[in-house]
Amino acid sequence: MTIDPLFSVQDQVVIVTGGMGQLGRQFTLALLERGARVAVFDTRVDEAYTRERFGERVSDSNLMFCQVDVTQRSSIEQGLARVVARWGVPHGLINNAGLDSPPDAPAAENGPFETYPEASLDQVLAVNLKGVVLCCQVIGGAMAEAGRGSIINISSIYGLVSPDQRLYAYRAAQGAPFFKPVAYAISKSGLFNLTRYLATYWAEKGVRVNTLTFGGVFNHQDDQFLANYTSRVPLGRMAREDEYNGAVIFLLSQASSYMTGSNMIIDGGWTAW
């Protein structure tokens, strides 16, 4: 593959949190294909699961897996120590790990705002917001000491605008009312100002920090939800899981060398109206 040097990530060391997930796996593969060295941080990285997710790529010398809980600073520190020992201080960090309440979650998690469980609120905020702060402290701090780096915080349109609860109204007619939970929305919105805070805090250290805000990704959702969702998207469809890779490569490369504190929105036009 011939890569324009402007967009090169060759030999960069990049940590991807939640790297075993749908998008994290895509980011990891896209980086490997372009010569980067990638450390996947996730809560489950046993041999069977890594082979299931990455196939023969598990033996790639440019790929490593670290069992890390992003809600625990000591776990992140241990993961970073392994990366540094093998490849040195990372050049990039993609804060991709996140929790949401899917349609098949327990009824209480997808019920009305007034009765949303406190335990669920704590769990989602711990991963989606606290976890990003801790990863930035530990991994971003190491990059700041090295005098370079790029951090990408993965947010959602539901952190930028309110979830459209009308998309889920059909569930009530089926006897299973569903409300997109508040925890996901407020955790993802918190990333915008974390990005701006760190962009200014680390500007003199050469660390750039930006947010990527994504729309929905196709993952075999039910037909009625797909019809409702895509009717709100100017491009008329959900994203393919590989359609955000270009933005990730851009933000890690020198093509975005003067970009920090920004929010890049890729949503098929959702927030344009």
Is 176 within a domain? yes
Question: Both tokens of residue 116?
Answer: 């949303």
CA distance 49 to 271: 36
Q: Identify the helix (H) or strand (E) that includes residue 37.
A: strand 37-42
Is 74 within a domain? yes
Looking at residue 120, what is its pLDDT? 92
Residues 38/31, Cβ–Cβ less than 8 Å: yes
Phi and psi torsions of 28, nearest 5°: -60, -50
- The yes-or-no verdict on residue 105 having pLDDT over 60 is yes
State the CATH number of the domain containing residue 231: 3.40.50.720
Query: Domain range spanning residue 159?
Result: 9-262
State pTM to two decimals: 0.96
Q: Identify the helix (H) or strand (E) that includes residue 194.
A: helix 182-201
Is 215 within a domain? yes
Looking at residue 4, what is its pLDDT? 87
Count of domains forming the chain? 1
Is 272 within a domain? no
Report how far Cα 220 is from the mean position of its chain's Cα atoms. Answer: 20
CA distance 273 to 271: 5
Looking at residue 228, what is its pLDDT? 97
Is 18 within a domain? yes
Q: Model confidence over 106-129: pLDDT tens digits?
A: 788 889 999 999 999 999 999 999
Looking at residue 103, what is its pLDDT? 56
Helix, coil or strand: residue 188: helix
Is 269 within a domain? no
Q: Which parts of 72-187 are beta strand (E)?
A: 92-95, 149-156
For residue 112, give every residue at least 6 positions away whose Cβ sits within 8 Å of its Cβ, in sequence order, or none: 179
Place of tokens 């990366």: 83
Of 237, 255, 167, 243, which is closest to residue 212 (Cα–Cα)? 243
Is 109 within a domain? yes
Report how far Cα 168 is from the mean position of its chain's Cα atoms. Answer: 24
Is 1 within a domain? no
Instruction: State the DSSP string of 226-268.
Output: HHHHHTT-TTSSPBPTTTTHHHHHHHHSGGGTT--S-EEEEST
- The yes-or-no verdict on residue 83 having pLDDT over 80 is yes
Looking at residue 102, what is its pLDDT? 61
- Give the pLDDT mean for 22-41: 98
CA distance 169 to 177: 7
Helix, coil or strand: residue 20: coil
- The yes-or-no verdict on residue 209 having pLDDT over 80 is yes
| Amino acid sitting at position 175 | G
Q: Model confidence over 150-185: pLDDT tens digits?
A: 999 999 999 999 999 999 999 988 888 889 999 999
Q: Model confidence over 214-262: pLDDT tens digits?
A: 999 999 999 999 999 999 999 999 999 999 999 999 999 999 999 999 9
